[in-house]
A = this chain, B = another copy of it.
Amino acid sequence: MKNAIKQVAITGGTHGNELTGVYLIKHWSSCPEEVQRDSFATELHLTNPSANQQVRRYIDQDLNRQFNIQDLNNPELDGCEQQRAKALNTLLGPKEDPRVDFVIDLHTTTANMGMSLVFNTSDPFVVGMAFYIKQKMPHATLFFHPSDRLEDNFLTSVGRFNGFLIEAGPVAQGLLNYQVYSETRTAVMHALDYLEKVNAGGTLDLPRQMSGYQFIEKIRLPEDSTGEITAMVHPNLQDKDYHPINPGDPLFITLAGETIPYQGDTTVYGAFINEAAYYDQHIGLSFMREVDITLNDVN
């Protein structure tokens, strides 16, 4: 069977201050039966221990942007996370012919994005996993960001399928929130159950289409001429991830309290609204569009 899954990697701590994945990996290392299934092997990895030890997102570079094929094969990239990406590529990949079939990478966000299922491919095998989890967890959001697997720079792209990123929030960096921890644990259970069921060749009774959101662009916070931030996310927008932003709606508010509206002419949807990890690049939120995602076939 072309889709038979033999080896699954669950990865946590790719961003060293996102502790949910770190502690789930520690938990499953003590209780491996929870992630064991009959038809495939599950391996657990803490992917950025140096950054985790310092409770920082990264030491030199964002590890989850280092996995495109050119960068992995560029010997001149030798920062901490660039080296780590190559080591992970050797461990899980190599990307051109991966040992691991599927990577499930665990992330958190300071934004109010709930249980977001991020998948970077329209491959029905992966879309099927997203649909399956959303059937079980109807409050989950499908975050669709299709890309070419070899060009993709996420860790999840080193598996044979361009895998799966679980992004749960809101939770501050550097701490554990049981609700976020528990939701992430549940989503991974469903993901593994899905793989087990697909391996067994049974019928999954998934819908042909589900609604989700597709990334458009990142929106920068307003700055002055010296590059200093002069405004922040407007309170009307705070915690309103996946809600519509209509032309004229408040987007930012200056340090002095003046509202800056959205000046586009089409409705968009916000995500990663006020994500702390993007402050270093002065990014206030992402614009998304609502999309119907089609499941073409499984097996």
Q: Which residues of A pack against B, CB within 8 Å?
A: 19, 23-24, 26-27, 30-31, 55-56, 110, 170-179, 181-182, 228-229, 232-235, 238, 253, 255-257, 274-277, 279-280
> How many copies of this chain sit in the oligomeric assembly?
2
Residues of B within 8 A of A170 (CB): 172
Q: Looking at A171, A175, A234, which has the most chain B CB atoms within 10 Å of its CB?
A: A175
Q: Which of A23, A31, A275 has the most CB of B within 10 A?
A: A23
Taking the closest CB of chain B, its distance from the CB of A23, in whole angstroms, is: 6
Q: Of B177, B229, B275, which contacts A23 at CB under 8 A?
A: B229
**Top 7 A-B pairs ranked by shortest CB distance?**
A172-B172, A174-B276, A27-B255, A176-B232, A110-B172, A175-B276, A178-B235
A-B contact pairs, 19 of them (CB 8 A): A19-B279, A23-B229, A27-B255, A27-B256, A55-B279, A56-B56, A110-B172, A170-B172, A173-B174, A173-B276, A175-B276, A176-B229, A176-B232, A177-B232, A178-B238, A178-B253, A179-B235, A179-B238, A181-B255
Q: Are B238 and A177 in contact (CB under 8 A)?
A: yes
CB contacts (< 8 Å) of A274 on chain B: these are: 175-177
